[in-house]
């Protein structure tokens, strides 16, 4: 498996969800810094993706023509999670830096950083 990079879109297998968390197989954007992604920790920080437009300020629009996704989708900043790289099945595309930056800003707002 290749080393995940910040902004990559991966199909991940997040297992059985509990409560309202995201689970099963779904797309996610890698948000963690590349220095963490290439470390021996074997973890990456991802944000799951949904196709449902809900108009939430924590959702960042991912345009299909910019990302390689089949359709416009939304990164769910409120569902940020740290996962093992073993949960990443395969890489599907990438999100340009001009979209990763607002996603990082949404997560910082949610965490009051």
Q: What are phi and psi of 21, to 5 degrees?
A: -70, 160
Sequence-ordered strand ranges (E) for the chain = 8-13, 25-30, 43-50, 59-62, 73-76, 81-84, 88-94
- How far apart CA 99 and CA 13 sit, in angstroms, is 24
Collapsing DSSP states into helix, strand and coil, what is residue 28?
Answer: strand
Residues near 90 by Cβ (< 8 Å), separated by ≥ 6? 10, 11
Q: CA-based angle 66:71:102, to the nearest 5?
A: 50
CATH architecture of 8-102: Roll (2.30)
H-assigned helices in 30-78: 34-37, 64-67
* In the chain, where the domains are located: 8-102
94 and 7 in contact (C-beta within 8 Å)?
Answer: yes
Structure tokens at 50: 């949904």
Digit-by-digit pLDDT tens for the chain (113 residues) are: 789 999 999 999 999 999 998 889 999 999 999 999 998 899 999 999 999 999 999 999 999 998 889 999 999 999 999 999 999 999 999 999 999 999 999 999 999 99
């Amino acid at each position: 498996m290749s080393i995940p990079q910040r902004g990559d879109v991966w199909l991940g297998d997040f297992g059985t969800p509990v409560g309202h968390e995201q689970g099963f197989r779904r797309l996610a954007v890698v948000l963690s810094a590349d220095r963490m992604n290439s470390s021996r920790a074997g973890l990456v920080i991802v944000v799951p993706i949904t196709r449902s437009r809900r108009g939430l300020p924590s959702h960042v629009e991912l345009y299909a023509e910019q990302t390689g996704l089949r359709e416009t989708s939304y990164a769910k900043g409120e569902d940020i999670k740290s996962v093992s790289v073993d949960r990443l099945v395969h890489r599907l595309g990438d999100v340009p830096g001009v979209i990763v930056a607002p996603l990082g800003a949404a997560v910082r707002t949610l965490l009051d950083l």
